[in-house]
Amino acid sequence: MNGLEHATPAVIALLLIALCSFYREFVRIQRGWQHTIRRIPGVDAIEGAVGRSAEQGRAVSFTTALTDVGPVLYACLGVLQSVAKRVAQYKLKLLVPQYSPEAMAVVEDSVREAYSEVGKSGLFDPESIMFLSSEQFAFASGYMGLMHREKPGAAFLFGSFAAESLVLSEAGQQVGARQVAASVSPEQVAFFICTCDYTLIGEELFGASAYLGRDPVQVATVAAQDRFKLLLVSLIAVGVLCATVIAFVPGLAWLRPLDLLSVGWEAIAQ
């Protein structure tokens, strides 16, 4: 659907299904329905990494790297809040290097809120959220310098990454930090698997915040996305089945249900 400027009828139908699915889960949560979220080792490791830093008396670093204000940043904020609360409880130093000035304001607010939620507002240091650069490699250079100066015990790399991913995670490796990474950029996942202790892949990043916070609304969002994904996977399975049948029986070429997704309004009007 890359570059689709206007929705086709089938896309509108899918969007409506997504909205309904979200609404259904939200109503169920309000009525007290309890969902369970599968354990993800990488998410469990987040708590362990902060605990290890506390034992060693070392700082904790959390970066959202190239993530701009958007859904990915909001998913990262859930995890950041959870990390910030633990850091505040253990009275550790938190380092949150920033790339985007827009995201920085939201991140600062979020960390401040986390400190106040655990009653440690006095420990919040605005200087812990530092703007490094909005230039990719200048940011990477600043991050490396920070890692070598502060030598954190745990480093979390959550969000969108590009070519600088390996530079960031190698810097953490060099100072012996326990690293947990989560990226929605598939190209960078391999680099993180090589250099980090745990890697959350793709949508696990979105699930992590719900898993850590146990927030009902976030859990409802994860449940809705799973239902919707199930529908899409079913559509893919039907498409594969139809394509296979057509390959063997060319006479059944009309059997292309997924072509419906690209049929425009003009074709329907005719």
Partner 1 sequence: MMQREGRDPRALALRVLTFLGGLYFFLYFITPESLIEQTSIKAAHESISNGFIAVGSMAIGLGIINILAAHGLKLIFAKKGWQFSLALLVGMFVMIGVTIAHWITTDRLSADIRRVQVIGDFAGRIVEDARSEPGRYKSFAPTGVLPPLQARVAALDQYGIETTHYLNLSGTSFTGDLALQELQSECVEGAKTLTDLLIKLRMRSWNNLDQEGEALLTSVSQQAARVASTYAIVRRKESARWLSSRLYDFLYNGLFNHLGASMFALLGVYIAAAAYRAFRIQSVESALMMTAALVVMLGQISFGKMLYSEMPAIRQWLLEVPNSAAFRAIRLGAGVAGLMLSIRMWLSIESRKGGGHK
Residues 18-77 close enough to bind partner 1 by CB under 8 A: 18-19, 22-23, 26, 70-72, 74-75, 77
Q: Are 148 and 174 in contact (CB under 8 A)?
A: yes
Euclidean distance between CA atoms 127 and 186, whole angstroms = 32
Please work out the total of residues on this chain that contact partner 1, with binding judged by CB under 8 A. 77
Q: Does 148 sit near partner 1 (CB under 8 A)?
A: no
**Of 50 and 189, which has the nearer Cβ to partner 1?**
189
- Choose the binding region for partner 1 from 37-45, 47-55, 166-174, 243-251 (rule: CB under 8 A): 166-174
With CB under 8 A as the contact rule, the residue among 61, 64, 67, 110 that binds partner 1 is 110
- Choose the binding region for partner 1 from 6-14, 33-41, 55-63, 245-253 (rule: CB under 8 A): 6-14
Phi, psi at 38, each rounded to 5°: -60, 145
Site for partner 1 in 168-197 (CB under 8 A): 169-170, 173, 184, 186-187, 189, 191, 193-195
> 30-38: long-range contacts (C-beta < 8 A, 24 or more apart)?
35/219, 35/220, 35/222, 35/223, 37/207, 37/210, 37/211, 37/219, 37/222
- Minimum Å distance from CB 59 to partner 1? 14
Buried b (16+ CB within 10 A) or exposed e, 25-52: bbebbeeeeeeebeebebbebbeebbeb
Q: Does 150 sit near partner 1 (CB under 8 A)?
A: no
**Of 66 and 77, which has the nearer Cβ to partner 1?**
77
- Choose the binding region for partner 1 from 37-45, 58-66, 246-254, 262-270 (rule: CB under 8 A): 262-270
Say which amino acid occupies 14. Answer: L
Q: Does 147 sit near partner 1 (CB under 8 A)?
A: no
- Cα of first residue to Cα of last residue in the chain, in angstroms, is 24
